[in-house]
Copies of this chain bind each other. A is one copy, B any other.
Amino acid sequence: MKKLTYIITLVLFVSFQILNAQRAPRLSSPDVNSKNDVTFRYYAPNAKEVLLSTEILEEQLAMTKDENGIWSATIKKVTPDIYPYSYKVDGIEVADPNNTYVFANERFKRSIVDIPGNKPLVYSLRDVAHGKVTYRYYDSETLNTTRRLLVYTPPGFDRQDKTKKYPVLYLIHGGSDTEETWTKVGKANLIADNLIADGKAVPMLIIMPYGNVRPSPMPDFTKDVMNDIIPFIESNYPVHTNSENRAIAGFSVGGGQILNIGLTNTDKFSYIFSFAPYTATQEFAQNFTNWNPDAKKINEQLKLFTISIGKDDFLYESVQGNLAMFKEKKINVEPIFVSGGHTWMNCKLYLTQSLQRVFK
């Protein structure tokens, strides 16, 4: 029996090696060293050209092929952050097969690489108490379907006295992102964990719904948030239900959505954080073209209203127009200008800044 077991083991081992040989080889990619150099590798023995497309560099890098058909490229001394990247293999965009971490998105399949650096950053996995991220279904009467949302609950949430209640931030992703993008790319849960651990943010719930509505028009998402999502959260979690304990934030298309949602419901939200908003939508035009707001009342209702934008963001000029419009209507809005473009690197920064100022 011992010999039989040995033979079976050997045959199996060989079978598995053959199976593996039919696949591309397992490569270590991306590899990050202690100097923050990152090396990308991709197996394509028959490709004529492989380019590396990243949000680290503006230009694409030509990768070079070794004798085993493995293409590689190294970028040195990268500023620690989490960057999207992909390979262009003879013009075809592919995610890195050896990297587990895929950018959560409906339109493209890219990978993300974390350059950790030598000291923990605000989104690093640190040895602090961790909150939980829970995937839930809710019934949307507005959209006549069951949709998903993610709920971040802070450390200690379950052990709290049930009389303890939390404030809630509603956080919306960009236009082709999904309900997972704020955690998987934006690290919203780890940012919250770290800021809470350091006493820089108050414990709160963060609700990350799926914001895309197709083929229905955009305003349906506003209704979905107001009539379905908020009631679902407030009936299922121990949360405060006054406007001082409700905030809304969003990026890009989501940044435009939350201007619509927040500014037409200033009795429901005391905090509005718009990150690089895309506002060229019918809903925005309908809400704000002939807008005649009671600015005094709105300014009293809103404890904080910010619009954040990177100097290199393609929406920079558009945001200047938004700011001018709100100024003309005498709405108090704080512009926050940072460097960088329309990226999820900036999203982490925008969220970090907002979490330190909300509910205070």
Contact = CB atoms under 8 A, between A and B. Distances in A.
A24 B106 CA distance: 12
A47 B92 contact: yes
B125 A137 contact: yes
Interface stretch (A5-13, A56-64, A265-273, A303-311): A5-13
A253 B19 CA distance: 14
Contacts of A26: 107
Given A132-B136, A289-B2, A92 B95 contact: no
Contacts of A92: 44, 47, 89-90, 92, 94
Contact of A132 (B94, B105, B106, B134): B134
Interface stretch (A115-123, A277-285, A349-357): A277-285
A93 interface: yes
Contact of A109 (B95, B104, B136, B321): B95
Nearest to A102: B102
A102 to B, nearest CB: 5
Interface in A108-143: 108-109, 125, 127, 130, 132-137
A96 B92 CA distance: 12
A183 B180 CA distance: 14
A250 B26 CA distance: 23
Interface string A50-82: 000000000000000000000000000000000
A15 interface: yes
Given A134-B132, A134-B134, A137-B125, A280 B97 contact: no
Contacts of A46: 90-91
Nearest to A132: B134
Interface in A131-161: 132-137, 146, 158
Interface residues of A, number: 65
B130 A137 contact: yes
Nearest to A136: B132
A48 B284 CA distance: 44
A61 to B, nearest CB: 18
A178 interface: yes
Among A6, A109, A321, chain B packs the most CB atoms within 10 A around the CB of A109
3 A-B pairs with least C-beta separation? A12-B280, A134-B134, A133-B135
15 contacts: A1-B325, A2-B290, A5-B289, A6-B285, A8-B318, A8-B321, A9-B284, A46-B90, A90-B92, A93-B97, A100-B105, A125-B146, A130-B136, A130-B137, A135-B183
Given A9-B285, A92-B92, A92-B94, 4 more contacts: A1-B328, A23-B108, A90-B92, A102-B102
Interface of A: 1-2, 4-6, 8-10, 12-13, 15-16, 19, 23-24, 26, 44, 46-47, 89-98, 100, 102, 104-109, 125, 127, 130, 132-137, 146, 158, 178, 183, 236, 278-280, 284-285, 288-290, 314-315, 318, 321, 325, 328
